[in-house]
């Protein structure tokens, strides 16, 4: 399996378990999915963007 899929799935599963406990399954499952997506795609994107920006300022 792809590492990105596992991270997104684990975040979704954690959200589902919180939702199961708090009786708001759909909301917390979607929140877990959103957090997983943020961790997998957007954080690495901004890290790479920041490194490129810093490298261009050093020149």
Q: What phi-psi label fits residue 24: left (phi over 0), alpha (psi between -120 and 50 degrees) or beta? A: beta
**Residue 34 near residue 12 (C-beta atoms within 8 A):** no
Buried b / exposed e across 4-41, counting CB within 10 Å, b at 16+? eeeebeebbebbbebbeeeeeeeebbebbbebbeeebe
Q: What is the pLDDT of residue 59?
A: 66
Residue bearing tokens 């997983």: 36
Q: What is the pLDDT of residue 4?
A: 86
Q: What is the pLDDT of residue 35?
A: 95
Residue bearing tokens 């589902």: 16
pLDDT digits (tens, 9 = 90+) for 1-57: 688 899 999 999 999 999 999 999 999 999 999 999 999 999 888 888 888 888 888
Is-above-0.75 flag for pTM?
Answer: yes
Q: What is the pLDDT of residue 27?
A: 96
């Amino acid at each position: 399996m792809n590492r990105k899929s596992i991270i997104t799935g684990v975040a979704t599963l954690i959200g589902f378990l919180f939702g199961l406990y708090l009786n708001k399954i759909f909301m917390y499952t979607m929140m877990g999915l959103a957090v997983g997506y943020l961790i997998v795609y957007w954080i690495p994107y901004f890290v790479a963007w920041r490194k490129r920006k810093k490298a261009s300022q050093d020149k």
